[in-house]
């Protein structure tokens, strides 16, 4: 498995197991991880995770947990039992919530003899701009400063890494070190449309900036030939890794 392939996460933003399985079956030779988000999980439930595992794929369960520490901790235990490779929580839930998620993940992985999933924190969503951050959420700080502050808090709380926009990779890498996992959506090859993503980078640029994993959805799942699109993206990432 090439290291570029291992770093590529495809977002399965579809409604049904049938569509998801068809994409996994076609793409798994070129893609390391499949992301199941709230659309697919709320539609099909944990069965979709079992099906992807049965096809040999690894799963990033993107449910962005955010609740009181006990509730998130219990959910973290359940997700760990499903054998996912990675799942995420909102850093805005605070350090006690994140610590509880990590504690229950470790406990469940030990009890079930399952691999320990990576626990990733969501920083500031890429759909939030400066005005929303200040006037609606009430955080009077520039976005990058807030993202780095939250990334440090996630690290101190025992999380393995964060989800962040490509533009914030360098600052997070500097603050949190080389082993900290940075998962980056908002990736667009030069040949694909940007859709509703606002602050994008190419796969090569994102890898060069220090991303650990790239999340790509529509440029692959919406392509006329998803396999060809995935191959091209892996090739671009490979180029970035060699620079």
User: From the CB of 39, what's the least distance to ligand C5P, in Å?
Assistant: 8
Burial of residue 178 (number of CB atoms within 10 Å: 0-12, 13-18, 19+): exposed
Catalytic residue among 35, 64, 155, 204: 64
Q: In this chain, which of 28, 105, 126, 146 binds ligand C5P, going by CB under 6 A?
A: 126
User: From the CB of 150, what's the least distance to ligand C5P, in Å?
Assistant: 13
Angle at 227 (CA atoms; ends 225, 230), nearest 5 degrees: 110
Reply yes or no on whether 64 is catalytic: yes
Binding flags for ligand C5P, 213-242, as an x/- string (CB under 6 A): --xxxx------------------------
User: From the CB of 195, what's the least distance to ligand C5P, in Å?
Assistant: 6
- Contact between 125 and ligand C5P by CB under 6 A: the answer reads yes
- With helix as H, strand as E and coil as C, how does 140-179 read? CCCHHHHHHHHHHHHHHCCCCEEECCHHHHHHHHHHHCCC
Give the residues across from 214 on adjacent strands: 8, 184
Q: Which is nearer to ligand C5P, 37 or 93 (CB)?
A: 37
Tokens of 77: 């235990």
Angle at 178 (CA atoms; ends 148, 38), nearest 5 degrees: 60
Which residues are tagged catalytic?
Answer: 64
Q: Which residues bind ligand C5P (CB under 6 A)?
A: 11, 13, 37, 125-126, 163, 185-186, 195, 197, 215-218
């Amino acid at each position: 498995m090439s290291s570029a392939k291992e770093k590529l996460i495809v977002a399965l933003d579809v409604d049904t197991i049938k569509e998801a399985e068809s994409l996994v079956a076609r793409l798994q030779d070129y893609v390391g991880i499949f992301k199941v988000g709230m659309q697919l999980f709320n539609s099909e439930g944990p069965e979709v995770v079992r099906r992807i595992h049965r096809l040999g794929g690894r799963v990033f369960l993107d449910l962005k947990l955010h609740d009181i520490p006990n509730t998130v901790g219990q959910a973290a235990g359940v997700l760990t039992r499903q054998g996912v490779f990675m799942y995420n929580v909102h850093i805005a839930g605070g350090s006690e919530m994140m610590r509880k998620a990590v504690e229950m993940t470790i406990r469940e992985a030990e009890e079930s003899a399952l691999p320990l999933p990576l626990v990733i924190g969501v920083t500031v969503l890429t759909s939030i701009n400066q005005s929303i951050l200040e006037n609606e959420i009430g955080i009077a700080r520039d976005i990058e400063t807030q993202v780095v502050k939250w990334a440090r808090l996630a690290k101190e709380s025992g999380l393995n890494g964060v989800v962040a926009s490509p533009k914030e990779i360098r600052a997070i890498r500097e603050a949190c070190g080389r082993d900290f996992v940075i998962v980056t959506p908002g990736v667009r090859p030069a040949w694909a449309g940007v859709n509703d993503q606002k602050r994008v980078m190419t796969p090569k640029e994102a890898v060069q900036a220090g991303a650990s994993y790239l999340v790509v959805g529509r440029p692959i799942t919406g392509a006329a030939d998803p396999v060809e699109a995935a191959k091209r993206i892996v090739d671009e990432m490979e180029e970035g890794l060699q620079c």
